[in-house]
């Protein structure tokens, strides 16, 4: 029998909470984008209501982590992991808020016609969802290299966002009547872009858990290769 089997079990439960909350966030993103594409107000309201559950999850998750810290005196790797969970719960909750924000825009623009069929925003959201899935997996498995690679994909999201920005700007300059709808779409795109940033934060926490070093992951090039970078002594 491993010593501290009960403790290991509690840490596993904490990790499960993270995974559960992440999948709830993923569903919220998917639904909110779906609602945006199809202007489905009912679906939007569902997303908004479900956000309450995501918020609750954050508090229970934090409580779980705090209880672990108070009762089990975690050290070293365990301590970093549990501290990371505290932050990840917060990031996931914010991501849920972003999805809810998109749903709010759906409600606000319900009676307006879509400016154009949405292609880029859903593509951005898809990348964000893939990133979220990868980041959570990397955290659970303690894979720092994977975390670096996923953080690098934020570059794709930023590129797409810039594209959408320019496109919507063109629309607005061409026809001032579209300003209202374009602005709303821009705001929705912004929410998705923020999703990418949040996932990057999660990746930073993953690397911290594994290496004990806190390294900024902003502005990584899209083809960032962690193995090559550490060989050149570039990290840290």
Partner 1 sequence: MALESKQKAEQGAPVRVPRTAVNTAERANGQAAEAKPIVISMKDVNVHYGNFHAVSGVSHDIRQNAITAFIGPSGCGKSTVLRSINRMNDLIPTARVEGRIEYHGQDVNARDVDPVEVRRRIGMVFQRPNPFPKSIYENVAWGARINGYKGDMDELVERVLTRAALWDEVKDKLKESGLSLSGGQQQRLCIARALAPNPDVILLDEPASALDPISTLKIEELLRELETEYTIIIVTHNMQQAARVSDETVFFSLNEQRQGILVEAGETNKIFTNPDDERTEAYITGRFG
Which positions touch partner 1 (CB under 8 A)? 1-4, 7-8, 73-80, 211-214, 236
CB of 35 to partner 1, least distance (A): 41
Residue 218 φ/ψ region, left for φ over 0, alpha for ψ in the -120 to 50 degree band, beta for the rest:
beta
Q: Which helix (H) or strand (E) holds 112?
A: none
Q: Is the Cβ of residue 30 or residue 83 nearer to partner 1 in the bound state?
A: 83
Q: Distance between CA atoms of 135 and 133, rounded to whole angstroms?
A: 6
Q: Is the Cβ of residue 2 or residue 232 nearer to partner 1 in the bound state?
A: 2
CB of 215 to partner 1, least distance (A): 9
Q: Is the Cβ of residue 75 or residue 174 nearer to partner 1 in the bound state?
A: 75
- End-to-end CA, the chain: 38
Q: Is the Cβ of residue 212 or residue 222 nearer to partner 1 in the bound state?
A: 212
Among 226, 204, 197, smallest CA distance to 80 is for 204
Q: Distance between CA atoms of 170 and 175, rounded to whole angstroms?
A: 9
Q: Distance between CA atoms of 71 and 61, rounded to whole angstroms?
A: 16
Q: Is the Cβ of residue 4 or residue 166 nearer to partner 1 in the bound state?
A: 4
CB of 93 to partner 1, least distance (A): 23
CB of 79 to partner 1, least distance (A): 6
CB of 84 to partner 1, least distance (A): 12
Six token digits for residue 152: 């690098």
Residue 235 φ/ψ region, left for φ over 0, alpha for ψ in the -120 to 50 degree band, beta for the rest:
beta
């Amino acid at each position: 029998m491993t010593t501290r089997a009960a403790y290991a079990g509690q840490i596993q439960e904490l990790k499960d909470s993270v995974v559960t909350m992440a999948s709830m966030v993923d569903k919220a993103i998917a639904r909110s984008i779906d609602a945006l594409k199809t202007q489905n107000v009912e679906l939007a309201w569902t997303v908004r209501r479900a956000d309450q559950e995501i918020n609750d999850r954050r508090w229970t998750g934090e409580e779980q982590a705090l209880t672990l810290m108070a009762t089990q005196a975690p050290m070293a790797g365990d301590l970093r992991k549990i501290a990371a969970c505290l932050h990840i719960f917060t990031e996931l909750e914010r991501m849920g808020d972003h999805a809810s924000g998109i749903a709010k825009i759906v409600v606000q623009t319900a009676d307006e016609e879509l400016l154009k069929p949405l292609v880029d925003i859903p593509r951005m959201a898809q990348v964000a969802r893939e990133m979220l899935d990868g980041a959570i997996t990397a955290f659970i498995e303690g894979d720092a290299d994977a975390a670096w690679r996923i953080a690098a994909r934020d570059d794709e999201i930023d590129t797409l966002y810039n594209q959408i920005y320019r496109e919507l700007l063109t629309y607005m300059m061409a026809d001032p009547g579209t300003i209202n709808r374009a602005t709303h779409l821009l705001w929705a795109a912004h929410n998705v872009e923020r999703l990418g940033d949040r996932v990057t934060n999660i990746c930073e926490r993953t690397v911290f858990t594994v290496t004990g070093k806190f390294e900024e992951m902003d502005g990584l090039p899209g083809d960032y290769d962690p193995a090559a970078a550490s060989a050149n002594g570039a990290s840290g």
